[in-house]
Structure 1
Amino acid sequence: MVAKKSQQRLGFKTGEYIVYPSHGVGLIVAIEEQEVAGLTLELFVISFEQDKLTLRVPVAKIKSVGMRKLAEESLVAQALTTVTGRARVKRTMWSRRAQEYEAKINSGDLIAISEVVRDLYRSEEQPEQSYSERQLFEQAMDRMSREIAAVNKLTLTEAVQLIEKQLAKSPKRTKATEAEAEAEGDEEAAA
């Protein structure tokens, strides 16, 4: 393994935070060459401190894996606005919705992740979530808060508080509004 002198490839450089769709926010710690099966590969070495994980990604695979730079501040503002909207819960089986939520979380798209946070959020007055719902909510919240913390140079706790403050502004979901949403879902299904 030989570290490269020039520490920038495809617009990414060492010391820069990036988003890797299936792992969230990571830090490029090095760009190195490694010989694999007689071929020399250039690799990004990405550290995910929260998961105690180091990933080596071939430079040539960056586009296909969906690695991207952190979101712009305007996109962060849009994501925070998204979580204040009315939850859009489809009336499909939970297993199908769970797959869709998982796909949105692993897409690395900040807006899609914020939609999952919005849709799975439960206030104190609402009924308890199932274990799998809570797991998906926490995973989406973690990904969203880590990116917002990196973009806005906040601590993780401050980013979580910022998102929770926005969630508190969302329309209250009471049993009556849930019943209305169910009725709307039934009407849409009948149409």
Structure 2
Amino acid sequence: MFHIGDKVFYPMHGAGVIEAIEEREILGEMQQYCVFTIPSSNMDVMIPMKNMRKTGIRQVVDRNTVKEILFDFHNAEPDCQLPWKERFKQNSDKMKTGEMQDGAEVVRDLLFRMKEKPLNASEKQMFTNAKKILISELSLIKDISEMQAADMLEITH
């Protein structure tokens, strides 16, 4: 279950902190709602507690997992052999999982590809979103600024 102060990750939006758990009446029905803030997008979110898992919201990963992900990010071979359409679908599917490892792979692979040749508009947008989401979780886990988190990934701002 989720509690006030928990650091959570909302797929496709980024990492945030639970600010409150409130009971509200909406359409005549009383429900508990989780209210959290996503600093990277300056967004406040309110989701019914019963829908938290369904939306893919999860606790942020622990520091040991981050170490492993960062090691893979810097050392694993990028997978860029697919034609762009298949690569885009594969990357989209990875982003939808909401898993930090998958998001890091998307950023790593697109960053590698970008060094070889410019990304098309769709991949450029995916890279920007994936990078923002990855940095948001990394900065929250490590309790550092987003700029410091980007530096850990060696991504220029």
After TM superposition, the score normalised by the length of structure 2 is 0.87
- 5+ residue gaps, structure 2, are none
- Report the RMSD for the aligned CA atoms in angstroms: 1.9
Higher relative contact order (CA 8 A, sep 6+): 2
Is the contact between residue 17 and residue 25 of structure 1 (CA under 8 Å) also seen in structure 2? Answer: yes
1:163 and 2:147 are equivalent in the alignment = no
What is residue 140 of structure 2 aligned with on the other side? Answer: 150
The structural deviation recorded for 1:109 is: 0.2
Is the contact between residue 12 and residue 133 of structure 2 (CA under 8 Å) also seen in structure 1? Answer: no
Aligned residue pairs, count? 154
After TM superposition, the score normalised by the length of structure 1 is 0.73
1:13 and 2:3 are equivalent in the alignment = yes
Is the contact between residue 11 and residue 56 of structure 2 (CA under 8 Å) also seen in structure 1? Answer: yes
1:49 and 2:24 are equivalent in the alignment = no
Q: Distance in 1 between matches of 2:23 and 2:48?
A: 9
Q: Distance in 2 between matches of 1:124 and 1:90?
A: 13
- 5+ residue gaps, structure 1, are 1-9, 166-191
1:88 and 2:95 are equivalent in the alignment = no
Q: Distance in 2 between matches of 1:70 and 1:125?
A: 30
SS in structure 2 at match of 1:145: helix
How much identity, in percent, do the aligned residues show?
Answer: 25
Is the contact between residue 83 and residue 118 of structure 1 (CA under 8 Å) also seen in structure 2? Answer: yes
What is residue 38 of structure 1 aligned with on the other side? Answer: 28
